[in-house]
Structure 1
Amino acid sequence: MHPMNTGNDKRDAADTTDFGYQQVPKAEKAARVRAVFESVAGNYNLMNDLMSGGAHRLWKRFTLSQTGLRPGQRALDVAGGTGDIAAGMSQQVGSNGLVILTDINAAMLAEGRDALTDRGIAGNVRYSLANAECLPFPDSSFDCVTIGFGLRNVTDKAKALRAMARVLKPGGQLLVLEFSHPVAPGLKPIYDRYSFSVLPWLGKVVAKDEDSYRYLAESIRRFPDQKTLQSMMQDAGLEQCRYHNLSGGIVALHRGWRL
C-alpha cells in the first residue's frame, strides 16, 4: 500500500479500488474477495434462498430463457459459484455441447462441481479455476457467456467485460445478471433497510459471518447502475446492448452481442 503522499494523490486513486465501502489496493481486492467466498461457500445456496426469498432461482431461470443456446453449442459460465446457470445451460446444449464453469475461488468451484455431480450433470460440463479478467480460452470460443452475481466482485470490471467479449464467437451473446439499482417508486428505502439490517443479521445467525454479508450488501451499492453498465458493455466492444429490470430493478439482466 502506498504511503500517504499528497503529491501522489492521482497515482494512489488509480491504484485503489472499492471493497464494499472501503478503498483498498487493487492488488489486494482479489484476495479479500476470495476470503469472503471461502467463508460463505458452504452456506451459499441456503443463504441465497434466505436472502432473496427464493427469488434468485427465478432470476436465473429468466437468464436461462434468454441464452438462445441450441444443442451442440458451447457456453461459458464465469464466476459461476455453485453452478445453477451452468446446470441449465448444460441441458440446453445437450450431450454434444459443452459448458465450462469457472470461478476464481477454489472453494466455490468445488461447491459447484459437487452440486452438479449431485444433480447427475457430468458429461458435458468442465471446470476451470480462472480469473474473469484474463480468461484462459482462445478468441471466439463460445456461443454464449454468462456471469451471474459475480461481476461486482471483480477488481477491473471493464477488463473482465473485454475478456468475456473476446471469447464470444461472432453472433454470440454475453448475459450479465447482477444486483442493480431499484427503479420502482418507494422501493429504494425499503431495500436499503433490508440490505443493511437483515442481510448482516442473517449472515451472523445462519452463516456465523456478519462481516462477509455486510460486504456483499456494500458491494451491491457500489456497483454501476443499469445505464452505466450498458455503456461499459458497449465500450467492451459488444453491440445491441440492452437490459431487463427484474424485481423492480433490484436485479437487472444485461445483454450484449459480439457481431
Structure 2
Amino acid sequence: MAAHKHEVEMNVVRFGIGLKYQLNKHLRLETVVPYEIKDQDANVGGLENIDDPEVRRKILLYQEIHHRDETYQGVSDTDLLIAYHKHGIFGQNDMLTAKIGTTIPFGKTENDPWKLGDMGIEHLHIQFGTGTFNPIADLRYSFPVYGGLRANASVRSKYPFYENSKNYRGSWDVTYTGGLNYRITDWLSLQTSYLELYQSYAHWDGEIDINTGLRFSMVSLGTSIATPYNFPLSITFMLPMQQETLYDDSASGNDAFKLGALVSITALYSF
C-alpha cells in the first residue's frame, strides 16, 4: 500500500470575559469565562497515490472515524481565583500579586477516544475542559522602569489531581512569562512578552495520552484600550518560537503537531 498520512489543521479563536471584584484593600475575587471556537480541517496526504478504490474507501472511512472537517465551539473551564496584591514590596511603585484558586469544570468533555477508535467508533480528541476542579497558583510581579514603561514577570501552575467520571486526568502545567508594558496615554497601552510553557501528559484510565505533553515558547504583542463604562478591552497576538512534544514521534521525522499563531481577545469589567 502506498504511504499516506492524516493531516489535520485547526484554527482556534478564544474569547475571554473576566470579572474582578475588590473585596478590600488587598484582596480581590477574579473569574475568567472563556469561549472557544475550534475549526478543524482534516485531509489524507498521499491518497492520490493509491489506485485501489476499495483501499481508498477504507482510508477515508478511517479518517471519518478519527478526524473530520468540523467546527466545535463552547465554553471552556472557568478560572475562579482570589488575588492578594500589595504595592511597595521592593520599591515605591512596584506591585506583587499572588493568586490561588481553581478551575470550574464547565467545559464539555469526551469519552476515551483511544478505546472508541479501537472499536471503530467515531470519536473526538478535542475537549473544552477536564471535568475536574484543578487547583491554580499564580504569582506576578511588576515594577516601573522609566516613565510609562513597566516590566513584569510571572509564574503560573495548574495541577489536576484526580480523574473525571470518564477516567480522564488532565495535564499539569507551569507557565513562565516576562514582559514590558508601555502606557502611551490614559486610555491606550502596549504590551510585549515572552512565554514558556511545560505541559505534562494527560491520562485516560491511567494510560498516557500521546496527543498531550508539550514544551513551547512564544512571543506576544498586544494592546489594551480603555473603553467607556470601565470596560477595558485587550487584544494580543502570539507567535510560537519553539515547540517540542513529549511523545517520541521521531519515526515520522517531526512532532505530531505544530502550534500556529494565536489571537486572544479579553474584556474585563471591574466593580
| Larger strand fraction of residues | 2
What TM-score comes out, normalization by structure 1 length?
0.26
Structure number having the greater helix percentage: 1
Larger Rg: 2
